[in-house]
C-alpha cells in the first residue's frame, strides 16, 4: 500500500518594500528559508520572470507589466505576510498596502509585522488634520485585514540601524501564521 502524497506547502506572498533594498535578493532568500522552516513556501516578488519586460518599448509598459506579474504571483499564493515597517515616511510602503488589500479582497489570510514598535499616531507630524489615535501600528485599514485573518500585527522593537534588515519580527509573524493555519509548531 502506498502512502498518500504529502500536500504541497501553503504558498506565502512576501509583500513589502524589501524589493527596493540594496540587499533585496539576500533578504528574500532568508525570508524563504524562514518560511520553509515553519512548513510554508515563501514567494518573494523578485521570483517573478521579469525577462519579458525587457522586450517592452517603454518604462510605463514595463511598470504595468510588473503590476500584472505581481498579481499573478499573489494569485498563486494562499496567504500574504506583509512588512509594515515605515518606508519613505511615517507609514508603510503604499504598494505593500495595495497588495494586502488585494489578498484580503481575494479572501486570503493576510498577516503582518513591523520593525518599528511605536504607534502610527506617534510618527505622524502634526499638520492640522485629524490623526488616527487607535493605538495601531499603522492606518486602521492596514490592520483590519490582519485582524480579520485572526492575527495581530507583530511589532518588533529593533534599533534604528536594523529596521530594514532585522527579520526577528518576520520570524515571529511566520510562526503566528503556522499556529493559525497549520495548527503545528
Which domains does the chain show, CATH number per domain? 10-182 (3.40.50.450)
Q: What percent of the chain has pLDDT over 90?
A: 89
CA 78 to chain centre: 13
Sort 54 into a burial class: Cβ within 10 Å, 0-12 / 13-18 / 19+.
Answer: exposed
Q: What pLDDT score does 54 carry?
A: 86
User: Does residue 127 have a pLDDT over 90?
Assistant: yes
pLDDT score recorded for residue 184: 57
- Predicted TM-score (pTM) of the model is 0.94
- Identify each DSSP E strand in 5-122 by its residue range: 10-15, 40-43, 79-83, 110-114
Task: State yes or no: pLDDT of 3 exceeds 80.
Answer: no
**pLDDT value at position 8?**
87
pLDDT score, position 151: 97
Residue 4 has a pLDDT of: 67
pLDDT in tens, 54-77: 898 999 999 999 999 999 999 999
Mean pLDDT, to the nearest integer, of 115-137?
A: 95
Locate 174 and state its grid cell: 511566520
Amino acid at each position: 500500500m502506498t502512502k498518500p502524497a504529502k500536500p504541497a506547502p501553503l504558498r506565502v506572498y512576501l509583500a513589502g518594500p524589501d524589493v527596493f533594498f540594496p540587499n533585496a535578493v539576500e533578504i528574500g532568500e532568508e525570508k524563504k528559508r524562514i518560511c520553509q522552516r515553519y512548513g510554508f513556501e515563501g514567494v518573494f516578488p523578485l521570483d517573478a520572470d521579469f525577462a519579458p519586460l525587457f522586450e517592452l518599448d517603454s518604462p510605463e509598459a514595463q511598470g504595468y507589466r510588473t503590476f500584472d506579474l505581481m498579481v499573478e504571483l499573489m494569485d498563486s499564493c494562499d496567504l500574504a505576510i506583509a512588512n509594515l515597517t515605515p518606508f519613505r515616511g511615517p507609514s508603510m510602503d503604499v504598494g505593500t498596502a495595495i497588495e494586502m488589500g488585494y489578498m484580503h479582497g481575494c479572501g486570503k489570510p493576510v498577516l503582518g509585522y513591523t520593525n518599528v514598535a511605536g504607534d502610527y499616531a506617534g510618527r505622524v507630524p502634526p499638520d492640522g488634520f485629524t490623526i488616527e489615535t487607535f493605538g495601531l501600528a499603522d492606518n486602521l485599514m492596514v490592520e483590519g485585514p490582519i485582524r480579520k485573518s485572526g492575527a495581530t500585527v507583530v511589532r518588533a522593537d529593533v534599533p534604528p540601524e536594523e529596521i530594514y534588515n532585522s527579520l526577528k519580527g518576520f520570524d515571529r509573524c511566520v510562526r503566528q501564521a503556522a499556529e493559525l493555519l497549520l495548527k503545528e509548531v
